[in-house]
Structure 1
């Protein structure tokens, strides 16, 4: 684990995680070199060009994307975009790619929360099947999500939620990477 390079990429979830006050103290004890690429409002295609040209190859990439895509792309396009990003990262030499489940959202711009829920559920189920048994790729359902992890905006994670997500990421990396 010493010196393991972990890259976490995603939308505003990751951007907020970067600035979470407990982040550095949690990571310091794990001896991981963690970098973040969090972009507010990001959708999966936003990462195609930049991830094709990453200047260093991390050992592990954790993808936390997809929620913003549900309102903009078809389910098939979202699945294809995630697969394209995973394949690109693996071809670049990333040892293990984690694709995180899409998390709930109570507030949306162009659809009802129920429509968002069904889109999220469909994509999570398909991703789980798609990556099941794949070497070097894990679809990760993050357990024990609770409403108190949500920020009052009903879209992002609270500080408690950020701590929960970061601990889950650390635990996943430790469990899957020897």
Structure 2
């Protein structure tokens, strides 16, 4: 599964950089795999983050960001993707609300933007969307250092 490979590949960087704050923004490719179970995806992701914080005591806060909406998908139809995305986001929020040093981060100004922030491919962000995404991540960092 893509997210497991991505997260595992970052372990060396985390060990060497020793960040105090980690922000995780996963794409939705894993939710486009036909047999993906969103409940398992959300549980494995939060479990991985908990383990990471135990193994790396220098990490003081982890943000897991909401998964983005997609207008176009591969492997499953858009409705299935959206249903899975909603389940994952709700589960992540519910779980992380109980954790002291972990936060579920919503990109409110990005997701609720009246402007078109999705590129023509229906998956990636436009230049404007990328700027809004950057600002949202910056706001998360500011929230963490308060």
Shift of 1:173: 1.2
What TM-score do the two structures reach when normalised by structure 2? 0.85
Aligned match for 1:149, one of 109, 113, 117: 117
CA RMSD of aligned residues (A): 1.7
Question: What aligned pairs does 1:96-175 form with structure 2 within 5 A after superposition?
Answer: 96-144=61-109, 145=111, 146=113, 148-175=116-143
Gap change, CA 1:143 and 1:124, over 3 Å in 2: same
What TM-score do the two structures reach when normalised by structure 1? 0.71
Asked if the contact 1:51/1:89 (under 8 Å) is kept, the reply is: no
Partner secondary structure for residue 74 of structure 2? coil
Task: Encode CA deviations 1:118-173: one digit per residue, 9 max, x unaligned.
Answer: 11111111111000031110001111323611111110001100100000111111
List gaps (5 residues or longer) in structure 2.
none
Shift of 1:46: 1.0
Partner secondary structure for residue 98 of structure 1? strand
Aligned partner of 1:83 in structure 2 is: 46
Question: What aligned pairs does 1:10-29 form with structure 2 within 5 A after superposition?
Answer: none
Task: Encode CA deviations 1:91-127: one digit per residue, 9 max, x unaligned.
Answer: 2121111000011001111111111111111111111
Gap change, CA 1:48 and 1:84, over 3 Å in 2: farther
List gaps (5 residues or longer) in structure 1.
1-41
Q: Moved runs in structure 1, 4+ residues, more than 2 A?
A: 47-54
Partner secondary structure for residue 119 of structure 1? helix
Shift of 1:66: 4.7
Task: Encode CA deviations 1:31-67: one digit per residue, 9 max, x unaligned.
Answer: xxxxxxxxxxx82111343233332211111101151
* Equivalent residue pairs, number: 137
1:43 equivalenced with 2:2 (yes/no): yes
